[in-house]
Amino acid sequence: MKKKEVIDLIISLALFVLASCILVVPVLKVSDLKTILIIIFCFYILFKFTQFILIFKEHDYESLFTALVSIIALIMINVLTFNTKNVVLILLGWMALMCVIKLKKADFYNDRHNKMWIIRLFILFVFLISGLLMGINLMYEAKVQIIVIGYFFLINSILDAIDPITDYLMRSKNESHK
């Protein structure tokens, strides 16, 4: 595996662990959604910015844009009145900007005639559907909101892991046919 693929996979694994911890939080009788969202976005900023720094030479700006979008979401959480409607708007806004980032990445692969663009479009579609379902299901009590958000970020971390794994498998297949 290339350095970029390893770093992408490690970051995806770290986000998976974060999402798994979020799913355990309601069992611990913690239901402060604002604090949990702040923690989620702080870790997203930390992980994605670190990822960008480590793979800077690859000219892959997806992680930088994700960190910037997460900073915007973190600011909005602290600026807006914290209620269910605003949480849904912030998360759907974050998701919409993430969709634009993922679409740009799919276009990047398409421009280079790389078959990964089909997989990136699939990832975008699954991300969009899971995000919309998350937004619809945030109208319940805090514990349910935390679980829904946890599952959304769990799905997102799995989708982030698909890219480096598929890239590695496709490259391995091409090298074995030479």
| Domains of the chain, residue spans | 3-171
pLDDT band at 171 (very low <50, low <70, confident <90, very high): confident
Location of structure tokens 């970020």: 153
Query: Mind listing the pLDDT tens digit for each residue in 27-70?
Result: 888 778 888 899 999 999 999 999 999 988 887 888 899 999 99
Q: In 3D, which of 77, 11, 3 has the Cα closest to residue 49?
A: 11
Annotate 98-125 with DSSP letters as a single string: HHHHHHHHHHHHHHTT-THHHHHHHHHH
CA–CA distance, 148 with 135 (Å, rounded to integer): 9
Q: What is the pTM of this model?
A: 0.84
What integer pLDDT is reported at residue 110 of this predicted model?
67
pLDDT at 111 over 70: no
142 pLDDT band (50/70/90 cuts)?
confident
Total number of residues shown for the chain: 178
- What whole-number distance in Å separates Cα of residue 83 and Cα of residue 50? 31
Mean predicted lDDT score pLDDT of the chain: 86
pLDDT digits (tens, 9 = 90+) for 118-130: 887 888 888 888 8
| DSSP type of residue 26 | G
CA–CA separation, 178 and 161 (whole Å): 27
